[in-house]
């Protein structure tokens, strides 16, 4: 059942993509870029699941990827609605301008 | 096989880095679409064609269109003056080159597959469906509740933006 691609390569790539997304979340202050970086991280975790599923030729990895897809779409819908709300309140998308409560 | 994987992975990594480091949101979205497409290519190489199709359709299609929609609605980059810069070739050459690499790779992989030199263990959509609606049925129910909650939440949040100031419309 061994696929031709070693599973290590896929997991390394997933880790690299996740690191890029994490760096984006930590470094950027624009809310749209923060959401995009979150997408990159979710995508990387889905990649890790599919790689692990392909390693044993099982369907479970793709099933988990479908669940991650559902989570990502729900997160994007709510996140973008919050982003609209934020833009309406602060006239901008700078995350640092939300440093007060009762915003 | 390995070189195909490494090329697609390099494209995904480079375009992810370009996504995070852009200053213009639309340029970042272009690179993000390329990154998602290359991850879909990797899924195909790994023998998960159903996941690859879902990646292209839902991620690169639906979710990215939602991002484009919101960016256009907020009108972040005061459009008309910058529109001339967008059409300059420097903006889209990077994503175009990366996409051409992916397209060449896909054509090569498809030709290899028809000649039978492409030895991978495919996990077919049938197996995924049987597993999804068999042992993971509870997860499907939970995902449906999550999506319903996301729908209601997005509608509720965007619904209240309207009356106070300029009308932003309801999203999603």
- Residue in A42, A46, A75, A20 with CA at minimum distance from that of residue B10: A20
For residue B3, which residues of chain A lie inside 8 Å, CB to CB?
none
Q: Is residue B43 in a domain?
A: yes
For residue A51, which residues of chain B lie inside 8 Å, CB to CB?
46
Domain count along chain B: 2
If asked whether residues B106 and B155 sit together in one domain, one would say: no
Torsion of CA B112, B95, B58, A57, to 10 degrees: 40
If asked whether residues B113 and B140 sit together in one domain, one would say: no
| pLDDT over threshold 90, residue A3 | no
Whichever domain contains B67, its CATH number is 1.20.120.1200
pLDDT tens digits, B108-160: 888 887 776 666 778 888 989 999 999 999 999 999 999 999 999 988 887 77
| pLDDT over threshold 80, residue A4 | no
If asked whether residues B26 and B53 sit together in one domain, one would say: yes
Helix, coil or strand: residue B100: helix
Position B144 scores a pLDDT of: 94
Beta-carbon separation of A54 and B47 below 8 A: yes
Tokens of A27: 């470094």
For residue B150, which residues of chain A lie inside 8 Å, CB to CB?
73-75, 77-78
Q: Once rounded to an integer, what is the mean pLDDT over residues A34-61?
A: 92
Domain boundaries, chain A: 7-94
Beta-carbon separation of B46 and A3 below 8 A: yes
Q: Is residue B130 in a domain?
A: no
Taking the CA of residue B166 and the nearest CA in chain A, the distance in Å comes to: 9
Helix residue ranges, H only, B116-136:
125-132
If asked whether residues B15 and B100 sit together in one domain, one would say: yes
If asked whether residues B69 and B107 sit together in one domain, one would say: yes
**What is the CATH number that goes with domain A7-94?**
1.10.287.3510
Q: How far is CA A33 from CA A66, B10, B53, B167, in A?
A: 24, 21, 25, 24
Of A27, A36, A59, nearest to B131 by CB-CB distance is A59
The phi and psi torsions of A30 (rounded to 5 degrees) equal -85, 130
Position A50 scores a pLDDT of: 93
- Residue in A100, A33, A19 with CA at minimum distance from that of residue B23: A33
Q: Once rounded to an integer, what is the mean pLDDT over residues A33-53?
A: 94
pLDDT tens digits, B46-96: 888 999 999 999 999 999 999 988 888 887 655 555 556 666 667 788 888
Domain span at B171: 136-172
Q: How far is CA B60 from CA A44, A49, B141, in A?
A: 14, 19, 25
Position A51 scores a pLDDT of: 93
Residue-by-residue DSSP string for A57-77: T-SHHHHHHHHHHHHHHHHHH
Average pLDDT, chain B: 83
Question: CA B49, CA B41: separation in Å to the nearest integer?
Answer: 9
Beta-carbon separation of A65 and B51 below 8 A: yes
If asked whether residues B147 and B106 sit together in one domain, one would say: no
If asked whether residues B115 and B142 sit together in one domain, one would say: no
Q: Is residue B131 in a domain?
A: no
């Amino acid at each position: 059942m061994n696929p031709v691609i070693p599973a290590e390569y896929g997991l390394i790539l997933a880790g690299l993509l996740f690191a890029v997304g994490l760096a984006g979340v930590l470094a950027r202050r624009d809310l749209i870029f923060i959401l995009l970086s979150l997408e990159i991280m979710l995508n990387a975790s889905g990649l890790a699941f599919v790689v692990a599923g392909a390693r044993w030729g099982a369907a479970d990895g793709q099933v988990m990827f479908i669940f991650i897809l559902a989570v990502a779409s729900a997160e994007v819908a709510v996140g973008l609605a919050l982003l609209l709300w934020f833009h309406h309140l602060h006239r901008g998308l700078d995350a640092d301008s939300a440093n007060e409560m009762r915003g | 096989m390995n070189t195909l994987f490494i090329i697609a992975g390099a494209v995904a990594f480079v375009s992810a880095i370009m996504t995070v480091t852009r200053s213009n949101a639309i340029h970042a979205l272009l690179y993000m679409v390329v990154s998602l497409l290359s991850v879909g290519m990797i899924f195909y190489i790994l023998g998960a064609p159903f996941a690859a199709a879902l990646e292209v359709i839902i991620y690169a299609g639906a979710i990215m269109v939602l991002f484009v929609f919101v960016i256009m609605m907020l009108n972040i980059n005061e459009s008309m003056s910058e529109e001339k810069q967008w059409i300059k070739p420097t903006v889209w050459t990077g994503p175009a080159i990366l996409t051409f690499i992916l397209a060449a790779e896909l054509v090569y992989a498809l030709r290899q597959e028809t000649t039978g030199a492409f030895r991978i263990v495919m996990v077919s959509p049938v197996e995924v469906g049987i597993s999804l609606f068999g042992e993971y049925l509870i997860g499907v129910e939970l995902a449906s509740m999550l999506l319903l909650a996301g729908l209601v939440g997005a509608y509720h949040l965007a619904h209240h933006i309207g009356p106070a100031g300029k009308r932003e419309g309801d999203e999603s």
